[in-house]
């Protein structure tokens, strides 16, 4: 009887320990999912506030002197385009970062929904998908073959293709698409890097559990850089060319990149999910802000204003660097 009592007591202790462990894991998953959802997925909300059209740095327009040679004109124009791209990237990144301050009900509902999905994936899906993926050698080969799409060569090929087409065939839309790809990718890289080191999630290949989070530890599983990049490219292209066939192809290819990261045991399913949300959100926000700025400039140029606008000029010489503001 004593043995049975101890056996029952041991079973009860094990059950209680299991329940405590399970509830602790669930609590961690809920907290992590909520935090990730609120911090990262606010970007999926349409940026409706006008503040996103403003620029952090002054605009600069290059005006060559009449005696300037062809090489000098080209260098000046290149400097103007580079400055404008840097200004737009920094401004849009900052606007996206502070957009939660302007949330309404729609934004909070979207964040809550993605937080719930993220939590569910972390707690109930990540480990199962990982176990299934690692038992399939063909899936691993697929991951190796598809990952180039979202790496540097893939982005360079896509951006270069649009830029060259726009340049040689005088197509402004293709030139604009190349510019948007560069800006959105740069902005997405900043968000991805910040998320990786802030969240500090262990990669699946380390054999840690899906709940292994250690901020600023050097663990960089969440979010997935390549998945974010793939969905940024898909988001920009589908915004510029909103045909259903383009949408289907672009997002299918981006999803394949995400699946490939799971196949290579580099990321959890929830990493890929949050990265897809991040990539789509950043790309759509960048396109939105650029279109709003273009519209504002067009309206500003159409107004007949007797007072000239303030303008900024840079002058660099061997002896001085001068910034002139002309009214």
pLDDT tens digit string along 79-97?
Answer: 777 788 888 899 899 989 8
Token pair, residue 225, equals: 């850089």
For range 96-119, the mean pLDDT:
83
Specify the range with the lowest mean pLDDT, choosing from 36-45, 134-143, 157-166. Answer: 36-45
Angle at 316 between CA 314 and CA 317, to 5 degrees: 150
- The closest of 287, 164, 191, 274 to 233, measured between CA atoms, is 287
Domain range annotation of the chain: 2-316
Considering only residues 315 and 82, tell me which one the structure prediction assigns the higher pLDDT.
82
Angle at 106 between CA 103 and CA 112, to 5 degrees: 90
Cβ atoms of 266 and 145 within 8 Å: the answer is: no
Specify the range with the lowest mean pLDDT, choosing from 26-35, 110-119, 163-172, 286-295. Answer: 26-35
- The closest of 18, 64, 55 to 290, measured between CA atoms, is 55
* C-alpha gyration radius of the chain: 25
pLDDT tens digit string along 204-258?
Answer: 999 899 999 999 988 889 999 999 999 999 999 999 999 999 999 999 999 999 9
Q: What DSSP assignment string belongs to 178-217? A: HHHHHHHHHHHHHHHHHHHHHH-BPPGGGT--TT-B-TTS
Q: How high is the pLDDT of residue 2?
A: 43
Handedness of CA 264, 237, 282, 62 (dihedral sign): positive
d(CA 149, CA 52): 30
d(CA 305, CA 45): 36
Average predicted confidence (pLDDT) for the chain: 78
- The closest of 246, 252, 251, 245 to 232, measured between CA atoms, is 251
Cβ atoms of 94 and 190 within 8 Å: the answer is: no
With 90 as the cut, is the pLDDT of residue 126 above it? yes
Considering only residues 308 and 73, tell me which one the structure prediction assigns the higher pLDDT.
73
Q: How high is the pLDDT of residue 99?
A: 83
Cβ atoms of 277 and 41 within 8 Å: the answer is: yes
For range 291-319, the mean pLDDT:
64
With 90 as the cut, is the pLDDT of residue 141 above it? no
Provide CB contacts within 8 A for 25, sequence distance 6+.
123, 211
With 90 as the cut, is the pLDDT of residue 202 above it? yes
Q: How high is the pLDDT of residue 103?
A: 78
With 50 as the cut, is the pLDDT of residue 41 above it? no
Cβ atoms of 42 and 224 within 8 Å: the answer is: no
Q: How high is the pLDDT of residue 306?
A: 45
With 80 as the cut, is the pLDDT of residue 151 above it? yes
Q: Cα dist. 52→46, 47, 214, 253, 310 in Å?
A: 11, 8, 33, 30, 21
Angle at 194 between CA 191 and CA 199, to 5 degrees: 120
With 80 as the cut, is the pLDDT of residue 10 above it? no
For range 16-28, the mean pLDDT:
44
Q: Is the peptide bond before 165 cis (omega within 30 degrees of 0)?
A: no
> Sorting pLDDT into bands at 50, 70 and 90, what band is 291?
very high
d(CA 223, CA 189): 11
pTM over 0.85: no
- Number of alpha helices (DSSP H) and beta strands (DSSP E) in the chain: 10, 2
**Virtual torsion, Cα 42, 246, 166, 152, nearest 10 deg:** 60
């Amino acid at each position: 009887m004593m043995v049975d009592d101890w056996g029952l007591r041991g079973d009860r202790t094990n059950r209680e320990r299991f329940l405590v462990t399970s509830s602790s894991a669930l609590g961690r998953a809920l907290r992590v999912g909520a935090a990730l959802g609120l911090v990262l997925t606010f970007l999926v909300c349409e940026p409706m506030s006008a503040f996103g059209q403003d620029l952090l740095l002054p605009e600069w327009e290059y005006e060559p002197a009449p005696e300037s040679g062809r090489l000098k004109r080209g260098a000046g124009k290149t400097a103007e385009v580079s400055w404008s791209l840097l200004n737009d990237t920094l401004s849009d990144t900052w606007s996206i970062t502070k957009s939660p301050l302007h949330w309404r009900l729609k934004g909070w509902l979207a964040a809550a929904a993605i937080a719930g999905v993220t939590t569910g994936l972390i707690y109930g899906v990540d480990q199962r998908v990982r176990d299934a993926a690692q038992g399939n050698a063909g899936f691993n080969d697929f991951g190796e073959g598809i990952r180039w799409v979202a790496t540097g060569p893939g982005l360079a090929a896509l951006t270069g293709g649009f830029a060259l087409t726009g340049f040689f065939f005088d197509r402004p839309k293709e030139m604009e698409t190349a510019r948007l790809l560069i800006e959105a990718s740069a902005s997405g890289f900043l968000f991805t890097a910040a998320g990786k080191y802030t969240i500090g999630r262990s990669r699946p290949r380390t054999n840690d559990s899906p709940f292994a989070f250690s901020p600023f530890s050097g663990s960089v599983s969440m979010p997935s850089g390549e998945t974010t990049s793939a969905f940024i490219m898909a988001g920009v292209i589908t915004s510029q060319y909103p045909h259903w066939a383009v949408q289907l192809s672009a997002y299918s290819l981006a999803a394949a990149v995400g699946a490939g990261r799971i196949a290579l045991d580099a990321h959890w399913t929830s990493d890929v999910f949050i990265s897809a949300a991040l990539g789509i959100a950043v790309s759509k926000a960048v396109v939105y802000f650029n279109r709003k700025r273009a519209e504002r400039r067009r309206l500003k140029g159409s107004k007949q204003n007797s007072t000239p606008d303030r303008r900024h000029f840079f002058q660099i010489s061997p002896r001085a660097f001068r910034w002139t503001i002309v009214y």
